[in-house]
Amino acid sequence: MSHDPHPLLDSLPTISDESVVEILDFLQAFVLGFKSLYSGQIRRYYDERSRANLMQSEPTASLEEPPF
């Protein structure tokens, strides 16, 4: 059984090439504006998660043993 990760996309109507490009241009401009406006918060979110992962992870091999 195949799982469709984007079921909403299956229900989109057929539209003209021009409309597709206009929508794509809008979405790209929106994402750029969103990232510009919220870049500090986005960066902080990922930085905090990254630091938390580094602090919680434990080495799996002994540091005294050679890697090979």
Over the stretch 13-57, which tens digit does the pLDDT of each residue have?
A: 999 999 999 999 999 999 999 999 999 999 999 998 887 777 765
Whether residue 45 lies inside any domain: the answer is: yes
The range of the structural domain enclosing residue 28 comes to: 16-51
Whether residue 47 lies inside any domain: the answer is: yes
Whether residue 2 lies inside any domain: the answer is: no
Predicted TM-score (pTM) of the model is 0.59
Whether residue 35 lies inside any domain: the answer is: yes
**What domain count does the chain have?**
1
CA distances from 8 to 11, 20, 25, 64 (A): 6, 16, 20, 52
